[in-house]
Amino acid sequence: MSGMIEQSKAGAEFAVEEAEGVERIALWEIASVVTSCLLAEWVVLSFAGGSKLVGAAPVVLALGFMLYSHRERGETAKDVGFRLDNFFAACRLLLLPTATVIVLVIAVAWFTRHSLVIAPWRNRFLLLPLWALFQQYALNGFINRRAQLALGKGMKSVLVVALIFSLLHFPNLLLAVLTFVGGLIWAAVYQRQPNLFALALSHSVSSFALALTVSPTLLNSLRVGFKYFG
């Protein structure tokens, strides 16, 4: 009898250790991906300048790692959020906060310029939805999911995701504040309805509103990292 108790005690201890190990690995995964992003923004750009090949190295490493991690953990594309079944449900959750952000952005543009000037169209805006989808995949499809593993679903993990998103937009302070707010909204919505297409749509629309209405000098043309300075 006492042998069985000892055995079950040891089993419980092993399970606790395993759970702690899973949490630690999840946090390590987040740190690793964030490090790659910071390297791309700050180190590679300052050292390698315009070399796109070198600049892509940390991004490719991070992307490869994230894909491998999904495979290791048995996550499918649908689990991660590449799905359409909950697209409208996610859009419904995002509609009000996105509309509020757009109204606020237009209000900021109005008060800083005393007029609503629409910036000229640039062809690179066409890539914005793809860029937004990629960012949302890294932020929510990966970081949010690992934050939930380490810290559980809820405010703690949402806050971590928003703080990371904001950190990656430093030293552009206005953008850091805006991305913190955006990060909170998108992370919270993702935890309820994991749909990356809906998040990318909200992200693209908000970014369009920012790029087209707010003065480029106020946002330093949305530059972040080392590029912010030149």
Partner 1 sequence: MKIPSARLVHLLIGKSIIETLVVGGLAVFTFINVLPPYFHGWGEVTATGISGWAVNSASPWERVEVQLFVDGKFVADAIANQPRPDVLAAGWAKDQWHGYTFRLSPQNPRYHEARVYVLHDSGGGTRKSLQLLGNPIPFFVDEDGKIVNIPSK
For binding to partner 1 (CB under 8 A), which residues are involved? 18, 22, 25, 28-29, 32, 35-36, 39, 43-44, 47-50, 54, 57-58, 61, 65, 68-69, 72-75, 149
Q: State the nearest-atom distance from the C-beta of 112 to partner 1, in Å.
A: 31
Q: Answer yes or no: are the C-beta atoms of 30 and 143 closer than 8 Å.
A: yes
Angle between helices 173-192 and 196-213 (to 10 degrees): 160
The Cα–Cα gap between 73 and 149 comes to 11
The Cα–Cα gap between 212 and 6 comes to 67
Select 62 or 132, whichever has its Cβ closest to partner 1. 62
Token pair, residue 74, equals 């048995």
Select 71 or 113, whichever has its Cβ closest to partner 1. 71
The Cα–Cα gap between 229 and 41 comes to 12
Q: How many CB atoms lie within 10 A of CB 202?
A: 26
The Cα–Cα gap between 170 and 52 comes to 21
Phi first, then psi: give them for residue 73, nearest 5 degrees. Answer: -95, 5
Q: State the nearest-atom distance from the C-beta of 61 to partner 1, in Å.
A: 6
Q: State the nearest-atom distance from the C-beta of 63 to partner 1, in Å.
A: 11
Select 58 or 141, whichever has its Cβ closest to partner 1. 58
Q: State the nearest-atom distance from the C-beta of 74 to partner 1, in Å.
A: 4
The Cα–Cα gap between 219 and 173 comes to 9
Q: State the nearest-atom distance from the C-beta of 32 to partner 1, in Å.
A: 6
The Cα–Cα gap between 219 and 63 comes to 28
Select 28 or 88, whichever has its Cβ closest to partner 1. 28
Select 36 or 213, whichever has its Cβ closest to partner 1. 36
One-letter identity of residue 53: L
Select 39 or 160, whichever has its Cβ closest to partner 1. 39
Q: State the nearest-atom distance from the C-beta of 67 to partner 1, in Å.
A: 11
